[in-house]
C-alpha cells in the first residue's frame, strides 16, 4: 500500500500522530488520539489504523509498551503530501522586518541579525551562510595605513561583500607608495572573480615598475589569508540554547554529537551549503543529511540572492519540528533578505 491509497481516516490518524508528537516529544497511543482528536472512532479502530501505518513504515514503536512516533519516512511523507504552510502572525512579520531592515556596513552584520531573528521566532537554531566569496567579482581594492608598519587591505566585490585583513610590513609605509600600489592592484585585478585572482595573481602582478615591490610581495605572500574560501568563516548561528534545551538532547550521546556539530563549523557549513543551489524551500530530514551522527536533526533552508551571488539561510532542529510554521518563516525571511541585498 502507498500513502495515496490510505483511507482518509488513516491520513487523519497519521496527521494526529505527527501533531501530538511534535508538541509533546512523547510517543502517541491510540487512547490519546481518541480523547484529544474528535475523529468519532474507537481506540481499537485507531490502534488498527496505527498498525497499518507501522506496516507502511510511517511510524514505529520505540518500545513494545509505548505508543508510536513518526519515522524519517513518515516525516518525509508528511512534509511532501500533508504539509500546509502556517501563516506567520502580524507581530512575527513585524519583528522580522524590524530586526533585518536596518542599516548595515557589511553583509556579515546583516546575516548575524538574520540568524538571530530566525532563532528567536522558531525557538530552534537559526543559521545564515554568506554567499561563496570566491565567485564574487572584485570591484575595488583599498589600502589603508592604520599604524607605522600596519596595512589594512579592503576587498569589495560586486554583490556588496567586503573582506578585510590586517597586514604588517617590514618597514615604514609611505602614502605615495600605497597610492601607486593601490592603482596597480585595481587596474590588474578588478573585474575578475576572486577565484581567478587567487589562481593568477602571481602572474598578473609579476612586472610592474609603478607599484611598491615590497608591498606587492607582501600582498602576494598574504593571498592565502584574504583569498581563502573557507565556508566555516562565513556561517552565522543564533539560538544555540534553543536547540540544546530540546528534550531530544537530554540523551548524553545525542548532546555530544550536537555540541560537536556546533563547534565544528566546517561540518555545519557543509551541511547547509549543500542546499544553496536549490531554489525555494528545502527540507532535509534525519538520515537524508547523509551524516550518521546527526540523524536526529532536520534542516529547513532556502537560498537568498545577493545580486549576482547566492547564499543560504535556514533552521536546524530536532526532526520533531513545526515544519508548517518553519517553512513560512524561512521562505519569508529569505525573500526579505534578497530584497534588502538587491537595493
Which helix (H) or strand (E) covers residue 302, if one does? strand 297-306
What are the tens digits of pLDDT across the range 107-141?
788 899 999 999 999 999 999 988 777 777 899 99
Q: Say whether both 202 and 54 belong to one domain.
A: no
Q: Return the top range by mean pLDDT from 53-57, 157-161, 215-219, 258-262.
A: 53-57
Q: Say whether both 57 and 118 belong to one domain.
A: no
* Range of the structural domain that residue 64 is part of: 3-82
Q: Residue 260 has what pLDDT?
A: 80
Q: Residue 291 has what pLDDT?
A: 75
- Does 21 score more than 80 pLDDT? yes
Of 273, 277, 264, 322, the residue nearest 298 (C-alpha): 322
Q: Say whether both 63 and 31 belong to one domain.
A: yes
Number of domains comprising the chain: 3
Of 67, 111, 14, 18, the residue nearest 333 (C-alpha): 111
State what percent of residues in the chain have pLDDT above 70: 94
Of 131, 108, 100, the residue nearest 305 (C-alpha): 131
pLDDT band at 321 (very low <50, low <70, confident <90, very high): very high
| DSSP-assigned beta bridge partners for residue 313 | 128, 302
Q: Say whether both 194 and 239 belong to one domain.
A: no
Q: Say whether both 146 and 273 belong to one domain.
A: no
Q: Residue 233 has what pLDDT?
A: 62
Q: Say whether both 158 and 76 belong to one domain.
A: no
Q: Say whether both 159 and 109 belong to one domain.
A: no
| CA 129 – CA 46 distance, rounded (Å) | 44
Assign residue 114 the CATH number of its domain. Answer: 3.30.450.40
Residues 78 and 18 sit within 8 Å (Cβ to Cβ): yes
Q: Among 22, 49, 82, identify where a domain stops.
A: 82
Amino acid at each position: 500500500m502507498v500513502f495515496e491509497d490510505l483511507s482518509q481516516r488513516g491520513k487523519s490518524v497519521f496527521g494526529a500522530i505527527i501533531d501530538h508528537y511534535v508538541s509533546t516529544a512523547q510517543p502517541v497511543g491510540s487512547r490519546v488520539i481518541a480523547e484529544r482528536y474528535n475523529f468519532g472512532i474507537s481506540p481499537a479502530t485507531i490502534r488498527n489504523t496505527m498498525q497499518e501505518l507501522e506496516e507502511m513504515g510511517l511510524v514505529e514503536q520505540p518500545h513494545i509498551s509505548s505508543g508510536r512516533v513518526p519515522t524519517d519516512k513518515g516525516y518525509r511523507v508528511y512534509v511532501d503530501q500533508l504539509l500546509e504552510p502556517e501563516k506567520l502572525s502580524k507581530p512575527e512579520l513585524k519583528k522580522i522586518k524590524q530586526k533585518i531592515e536596518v542599516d548595515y556596513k557589511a553583509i556579515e552584520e546583516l546575516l548575524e541579525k538574520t540568524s538571530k531573528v530566525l532563532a528567536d521566532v522558531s525557538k530552534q537554531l537559526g543559521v545564515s551562510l554568506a554567499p561563496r566569496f570566491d565567485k564574487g567579482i572584485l570591484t575595488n581594492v583599498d589600502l589603508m595605513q592604520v599604524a607605522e608598519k600596519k596595512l589594512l587591505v579592503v576587498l569589495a566585490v560586486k554583490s556588496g561583500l567586503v573582506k578585510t585583513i590586517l597586514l604588517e610590513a617590514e618597514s615604514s609605509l609611505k602614502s605615495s607608495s600605497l597610492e601607486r600600489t593601490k592603482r596597480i592592484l585595481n587596474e590588474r585585478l578588478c573585474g575578475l572573480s576572486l577565484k581567478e585572482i587567487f589562481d593568477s595573481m602571481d602572474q598578473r602582478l609579476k612586472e610592474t615598475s609603478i607599484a611598491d615591490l615590497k608591498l606587492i610581495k607582501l600582498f602576494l605572500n598574504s593571498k592565502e589569508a584574504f583569498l581563502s574560501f573557507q565556508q566555516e568563516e562565513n556561517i552565522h548561528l543564533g539560538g544555540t540554547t534553543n536547540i540544546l534545551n530540546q528534550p531530544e538532547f537530554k540523551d548524553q550521546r545525542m548532546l555530544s554529537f550536537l555540541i560537536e556539530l556546533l563547534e565544528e563549523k566546517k561540518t555545519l557549513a557543509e551541511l547547509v551549503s549543500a542546499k544553496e543551489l536549490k531554489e525555494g524551500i528545502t527540507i532535509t530530514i534525519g538520515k537524508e543529511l547523509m551524516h550518521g551522527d546527526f540523524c536526529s536533526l532536520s534542516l529547513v533552508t532556502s537560498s537568498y540572492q545577493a545580486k549576482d551571488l547566492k547564499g543560504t539561510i535556514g533552521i536546524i532542529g530536532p526532526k520533531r519540528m513545526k515544519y508548517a510554521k518553519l517553512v513560512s518563516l524561512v521562505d519569508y525571511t529569505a525573500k526579505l533578505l534578497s530584497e534588502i541585498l538587491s537595493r
